[in-house]
Amino acid sequence: MRYKKKAMIVAPQPEATEAGAEMLREGGNAVDAGIACALVQGVVDPMMCGIAGFGSCGIYMPAKNFHGYIDAHAPAPLAARPDMWANLIESEARDGYGFILRGRVNDIGYQSICAPANLKMYHEAHKAHGSLPWSRIVEPAIAWADDGWTVRPHVHYWWSDEGAFGRAPNWERTGFTPAARALYCRPDGTPKRVGDRVVNRDYAQTLRAIAKEGGDVFYSGEVAHAIAEDMRKNDALLSLDDLKAWKPVHNAPLWGDYRGYRVSTNQPPGGGVMLLEMLNILENFDLRGLEHNSTEYLRVVSEAMKRATIDKDAHVGDPRFVEVPVGQLTSKDYAKRLAGEIERGIKAKVPRFNSGAVSKDTTHISVLDQDGNCFSMTHSLGMPSGVVTPGLGFMYNGCMGVFDPRPGRAGSIAPGKARFSSVVPSILFKDGKPHLIIGAPGATQIAMGVLQVVLNALDFDMTMVEAVSAPRFSATSDAIDVSNRIPRRVERELQALDYPVVRSPYTFGFAAVHAIRIHHDGLDGGADPGHDGNVIAV
């Protein structure tokens, strides 16, 4: 469906999408709408994202001649050390999303927390580019926290997740600290269910302080000191020094092109380099000439995914600590060589320490306003720590779980170092104008989901609803993971080619892509049906 409107917002939570649409109706711009949406997401999807998480946002404002990214990749605390957990390794997640350690110290609890990064990104984005007052932007989140919200199906599904391969189950995260349990669990200790109410007046008070004083209250003021005291009492790595030291990184876009479209995406340690490498490889194939989701289509795209994963694991990390060969990884010549290997049937081998689990606790926002400003943000808690400080009301990230506990690698632990994140908020341009605003939650599957929706839209000319709804697959290990709607005939044919195939029981999977496509005669939006989100045109 094409909307005869000039503005649109797409996000996985209806309450948050409505908050962003309110800002657009009041004359706010894409940044106002995106940040208001993000703050509500932290209330109504509190284990997916929040002010104590991490993220990356792309902003395009043609009237200001501005196009850039603000990256908030949560760094390891200054007390962290490269070898502090090297003797605790049990396995590496099969998809590459972190390590399982004895005692799960990196996965849940106070030592799993990295510096909370998101709030300063939100505040700086609004301060530089917003048009409505900051206090107005925070109002909808305060209202939802104060008045309460109802648990939706996807929230219940996620809170009840059992975990796998040594990961802490999410129901354990909801009740890990007394403050979390009081918010998110029933009296018997189980997570609240669909239709149950969540009222978070402590968080409403925290948000009121943020509305009045901005980000400083969280990073150096009253809230910061409450955070630091709780961390000290519970032997966390995080300290007040980490809060005071944190600053988002303002980057120029990382550029690529695909079949005549210009692709703007985020710099390392974000996932943009992976997206561009995969698009460059696949540009060498006539994908339109292949049947969509056929055996050969899955083979070709999966091999591109595997090669980008290998390069990511070996080379992509925090550029302040690791020399990332961005030029090489995103070059057309390099992609052509890799495409030649795929054409010859050469299988890439993705090294893994062991096998493990998939995580997807992240969320996304895509916004276009009536002046042509674009906003794309993916933000997350990583694997949520389960920690809620008494009286503050928000959950902290668990980003230490994704560092490589083996010293001397691109993803190894170091004080102040951010780890790789697959978040890849992106904007694609056609004839110099925005054409596709896109991003997704989904851990290591984010780049893979965004890739497939881009291919669906550009190579197969699907509507955005079709593009985000089509069955997906992923290859971030030697196996090809498929959602349950990929035909079993294709699975059998891939197995006949000696590919391990792992079938998910879920109808939708491998990221949850949310996108806006801009046509000359209207707007086309898609909210991934695997989540509870929606599209609102204004």
**Residue 87 DSSP label:** G
CA angle 394, 399, 403 (to 5 degrees): 170
Compute how many other C-beta atoms are within 10 angstroms of the C-beta atom of residue 226. Answer: 16
Question: Running DSSP on this structure, what letter comes out for residue 439?
Answer: E
Beta bridge partners of 473: 482
Element of type H or E holding 158: helix 153-159
Task: Specify burial of residue 149 (Cβ count, 10 A radius: 0-12, 13-18, 19+).
Answer: buried
Contact 89, 353 (CB under 8 A): yes
Structure tokens at 428: 């694609």
Q: How many of the other CB atoms lie within 10 Å of CB of 138?
A: 24
Pick the closest to residue 391 from 219, 173, 243, 200 (CA basis).
200
Sign of the alpha-carbon dihedral angle for 484, 485, 487, 490: negative
**Nearest CA-CA partner of 448 in 413, 476, 489, 412:** 476
Among candidates 235, 17, 233, 12, which has minimal Cα distance to 105? 235
User: Within a 10 A sphere around the Cβ of 351, how many other Cβ atoms?
Assistant: 12
Strand 426-430 versus strand 433-439 pairing type: antiparallel
User: Is the CB of residue 441 less than 8 Å from the CB of residue 362?
Assistant: yes
Q: Which residues pair with 519 in a beta bridge?
A: 522
Cα separation of 80 and 399, whole Å? 12
Torsion angle in degrees (nearest 10) through CA of 269, 97, 36, 24: 80
Buried b (16+ CB within 10 A) or exposed e, 461-471: ebbbbebbbbb
Find the catalytic residue in 265, 362, 363, 389.
362
Closest C-alpha to 467, from 452, 482, 477: 452
Is 397 within 8 Å of 309 (Cβ atoms)? Answer: no
Helices (H), 199-291: 201-213, 216-219, 222-233, 240-245, 272-282
Active-site residue flag, 362:
yes
33, with CB counted inside 10 A (0-12, 13-18, 19+), is buried
**Two tokens, residue 221:** 């003021």
3-state per-residue secondary structure call for 20-84: HHHHHHCCCCHHHHHHHHHHHHHHHCCCCCCCCCEEEEEEEEHHHCEEEEEEECCECCCCCCCCC
* Coil vs helix vs strand at 444: helix
Paired strand residues for 436 = 428, 517
Tell me the catalytic residues: 362
